[in-house]
């Protein structure tokens, strides 16, 4: 029997597995508390389990960890982590200081297959999906590195990869992020960002009530086709129809991320089109000036143009934030992650 990794299992799967090896099912909750709440690194740490049971678990299961290869710290306090995986692949994660708390930006794939033209990760291509344990371990090991781990309150699935292209593993990881018997983060503080995989957005809305962010970046199909190849498969009309029917609790809104690129999508006419596009959706908008990287054909607009774009949206009663990129000096900002040039 191949060893099972407890971080790849949800509660029901853990119960089924311990029963399969002849252990009482109530032990599942004990094991999960040790793995997730106490962050046990070995079965020997599980002191309220008998020696015999610990040996039994050690024979049939494992508690995985990622290999931390390197950490870089930005002038603004942002930290970027390079993790090694068992097969030799590598991923990056980011810890972002906010006002009074921290946000962890987590990867869901090694690289990305979506091909967005403004994103350095896309240039790497896709090596493979991450397992749910590899997603969870980023959070757990980042938290272990912190002097005040309780200040890590927000999780964003916005690192390397398209989360919804790895739906099964990501969904299981989210369950272990928000479930009380695991990491117990508030679901209101967990956000998944997608480039717009329509069927998976619909599924996410049915199955997992967390925050949704959509990387939009254009208000017309011609421009979005140029920037984001996924738009040819799921054009704006279909995407927006799905988002209009996305289930949200009272007071919640979908976040639309809009990377401002000089002379591509930063005109006042683009802002006007964006208002028309989102008129039937409960939305808030994050404007993100393009983060440059070597070899990119794009530039960020100047400050005056960014403010004019924001003002036009505010005049139409949208909540609009200009998201200040953090960690740019260590290539940890939006669109800059790639394990090939750390």
Rounded CA gap, 78 and 4, in Å?
34
Q: Partners of 157 in the beta sheet? A: 192
92 is an active site residue: yes
The residue assigned the tokens 């200009």 is 322
Catalytic residue among 105, 112, 195, 334: 334
Inter-residue contact 173 to 165 (CB < 8 Å): no
Tell how strand 109-111 and strand 126-129 pair up: antiparallel
Which segments of 253-341 are extended strands (E)?
254-260, 283-289, 319-322
Which of 194, 213, 297 shows the shortest CA–CA distance to 256?
213
Catalytic residue among 92, 200, 257, 312: 92
Rounded CA gap, 2 and 255, in Å?
42
What are the residues whose beta carbons fall under 8 Å from the beta carbon of 212, sequence distance 6 or more? 191, 192, 194, 201, 204, 205, 246, 254, 255
Inter-residue contact 245 to 280 (CB < 8 Å): no
Which of 160, 154, 143 shows the shortest CA–CA distance to 79?
143
N-to-C CA span, the chain: 38
Q: What length does the chain have?
A: 342
334 is an active site residue: yes
| Active centre residues (catalytic) | 92, 334
């Amino acid at each position: 029997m191949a060893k099972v990794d407890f971080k790849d299992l949800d509660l029901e799967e853990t119960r089924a597995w311990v029963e399969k090896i002849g252990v009482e099912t109530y032990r599942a909750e004990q094991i999960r508390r040790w793995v997730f709440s106490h962050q046990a690194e070995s079965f020997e740490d599980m002191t309220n389990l008998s020696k015999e049971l610990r040996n039994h678990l050690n024979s049939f299961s494992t508690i995985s960890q990622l290999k931390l290869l390197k950490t870089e710290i930005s002038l603004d306090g942002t930290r970027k982590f390079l993790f090694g995986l068992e097969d030799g692949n590598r991923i990056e994660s980011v810890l972002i200081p906010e006002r009074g708390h921290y946000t962890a930006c987590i990867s869901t794939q090694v690289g990305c297959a979506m091909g967005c033209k403004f994103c350095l990760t896309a240039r790497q291509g896709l090596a493979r999906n991450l397992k749910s344990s590899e997603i969870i371990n980023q959070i757990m090991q980042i938290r272990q590195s912190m002097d005040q781990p309780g200040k890590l309150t927000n999780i964003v699935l916005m690192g390397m990869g398209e989360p919804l292209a790895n739906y099964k593993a990501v969904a299981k990881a989210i369950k272990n992020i928000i479930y009380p018997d695991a990491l117990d983060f508030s679901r209101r503080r967990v956000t998944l960002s997608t480039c717009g995989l329509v069927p998976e957005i619909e599924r996410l809305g049915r199955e997992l009530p967390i925050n949704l962010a959509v990387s939009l970046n254009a208000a017309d199909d011609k421009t979005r086709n140029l920037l984001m190849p996924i738009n040819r498969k799921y054009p704006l009309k279909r995407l927006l129809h799905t988002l209009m029917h996305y289930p949200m609790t009272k007071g919640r809104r979908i976040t639309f991320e809009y990377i401002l690129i000089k002379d591509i999508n930063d005109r006042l006419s683009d802002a006007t089109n964006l208002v028309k596009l989102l008129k039937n959706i409960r939305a808030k908008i994050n404007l993100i000036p393009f983060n440059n990287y070597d070899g990119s054909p794009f530039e960020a607009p100047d400050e005056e143009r960014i403010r004019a774009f924001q003002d036009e949206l505010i005049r139409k009663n949208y909540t609009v934030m200009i998201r200040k990129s953090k960690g740019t000096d260590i290539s940890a900002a939006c669109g800059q992650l790639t394990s090939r040039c750390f």
